[in-house]
């Protein structure tokens, strides 16, 4: 997989792209590779000591690699389990820490440091979902695998921040909460107001933050088209005359739980900016959690993210829409577009075309 990542970034869309042969394989290969010097990972929820992720970290530590795991003990409902496998990691020689005082670490990031002929190279994974093989089969999530040097430096600085070795407040590529994610999102929203064909598409689990809601209202009043795909709580009222006429809100409810967070700013694909990561648009995420959103710059991967959003917006089988009065109604079926079925078809087509080599 390292050879592939030196050539290009990879985007994975779970469960349509296998978690076992992508993210799991990345961490397992890092654990076995003699040239890997260090592995660092945040763990919010996983499937316990039997998890292939936990086993890989233990195996890496046993071979003398520097292994660091940030374990979030305050993951609601998983506190006891997290304590148990954190102890198993510590006993195996993994350096386990429990995050920044006063903040819950919700970011989904992995850093692999490898010695190569050209020098030290960093490989990273930034995702929207937990490192949990079980939920990866039923939660819809996306993730970016990359060997981009600037992104690798950012992730290294993020881990320094999490361990208290750095007071890093600015990052080159990453958008990080609580050190500026809200202000960055509001800035991106406002910039769309300067474009004649301004467009914003946000896919999140929840939209509650009043500052971001107000920014979206203002964007709508300034002529920006806004589409929101919100699985859970949405405190914004769409389609209200004089307030949010250009805002539409929908949810996708199907076999898989829609869990990814994807942001798009811009109308034309070639100019649109895309981000993915762990943060929902809620005060708890933006103020009281460590979150990471990563820009996706590769043209083909941006096109794929755009495709994911467009399919969700075209869905008329699983989709519900939010009405101005706060009620929800089914979107009438006209073309029979089922987003989750379509994603399965797209993943199969990519596999048959060899988009990701089978031995990647």
Question: DSSP characters for 297-312?
Answer: --HHHHHHHHHHHHHH
CA 263, 267, 268, 272 torsion-angle sign:
negative
Which tokens in the block code for residue 168?
Answer: 């890093």
Which tokens in the block code for residue 41?
Answer: 């990972």
Rg of the chain (C-alpha set):
20
**Identical topology for domains 2-173 and 176-353:** yes
Contact call for residues 46 and 131 (beta carbons, < 8 A): yes
pLDDT at 355 (0 to 100) = 54
Q: Among the options 106, 115, 125, 259, which is catalytic? A: 106
pLDDT at 170 (0 to 100) = 84
In words, the CATH class of domain 2-173 is alpha beta
- DSSP H or E segment with residue 175: strand 175-177
For 176-353, the fitting CATH number among 3.20.20.120, 3.30.870.10, 3.40.50.1980, 3.40.190.10 is 3.30.870.10
Whole-angstrom CA distances from 101 to 82, 130, 161, 267, 269 are 17, 21, 12, 40, 41
Q: Model's pTM, two decimal places?
A: 0.94
- DSSP H or E segment with residue 252: strand 247-252
pLDDT at 78 (0 to 100) = 59
Which tokens in the block code for residue 271?
Answer: 């100019």
Residues with Cβ < 8 Å from 304, sequence gap 6 or more?
A: 11, 13
Cα–Cα dist 253/147, whole Å: 35
First to last CA, the chain: 4
Cα–Cα dist 252/256, whole Å: 9
**Angle between the 52-62 and 23-32 helix axes, to the nearest 10 degrees?**
10
Cα–Cα dist 262/306, whole Å: 9
Pick out the chain residues at pLDDT < 70. Answer: 47-49, 74-79, 165-168, 355-360
pLDDT at 358 (0 to 100) = 41
- Residue 13 bears catalytic tag: no
CA 80, 278, 345, 228 torsion-angle sign:
positive
Domain positions in the chain: 2-173, 176-353
pLDDT at 158 (0 to 100) = 96
pLDDT at 164 (0 to 100) = 76
């Amino acid at each position: 997989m390292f050879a592939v990542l030196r050539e290009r970034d990879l985007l994975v869309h779970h469960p349509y792209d296998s978690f076992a042969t992508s993210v799991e394989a990345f961490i397992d290969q890092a654990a076995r590779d003699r040239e890997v010097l260090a592995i660092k990972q945040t763990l919010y929820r996983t499937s316990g000591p039997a998890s292939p992720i936990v086993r890989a970290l233990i195996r890496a530590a046993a071979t003398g690699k520097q292994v660091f795991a940030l374990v979030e003990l305050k993951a609601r409902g998983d506190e006891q389990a997290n304590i148990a496998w954190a102890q198993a990691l510590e006993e195996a020689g993994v350096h386990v820490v429990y995050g920044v005082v006063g903040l819950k670490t919700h970011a989904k990031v992995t850093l692999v440091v490898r010695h190569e002929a050209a020098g030290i190279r960093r490989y990273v994974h930034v995702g929207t979902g937990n490192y949990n093989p079980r939920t990866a089969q039923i939660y819809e999530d996306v993730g970016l695998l990359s060997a981009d040097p600037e992104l690798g430096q950012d992730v290294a600085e993020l881990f320094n921040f999490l361990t208290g070795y750095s007071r890093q407040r600015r990052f080159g590529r990453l958008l990080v909460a609580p050190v500026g994610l809200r202000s960055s999102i509001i800035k991106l929203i406002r910039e769309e107001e300067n474009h004649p064909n301004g467009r914003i598409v946000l896919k999140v689990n929840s939209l509650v933050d009043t500052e971001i809601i107000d920014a979206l209202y203002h964007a709508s009043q300034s002529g920006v088209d806004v589409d929101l795909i919100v699985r859970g709580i949405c405190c914004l009222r769409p389609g209200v005359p004089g307030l949010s006429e250009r805002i539409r809100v929908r949810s996708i409810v199907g076999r898989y739980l829609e869990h990814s967070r994807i942001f798009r700013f811009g109308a034309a694909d070639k100019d649109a900016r895309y981000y993915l990561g762990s943060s929902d648009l809620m005060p708890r995420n933006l103020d009281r959690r460590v979150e990471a959103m990563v820009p996706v710059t590769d043209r083909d991967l941006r096109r794929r993210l755009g495709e994911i959003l467009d399919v969700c917006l075209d869905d008329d089988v699983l989709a519900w829409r939010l009405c101005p009065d706060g009620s929800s109604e089914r979107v009438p079926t006209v073309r029979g577009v089922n987003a989750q079925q379509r994603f399965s078809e797209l993943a199969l087509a990519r596999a048959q075309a060899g988009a990701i080599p089978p031995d990647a």
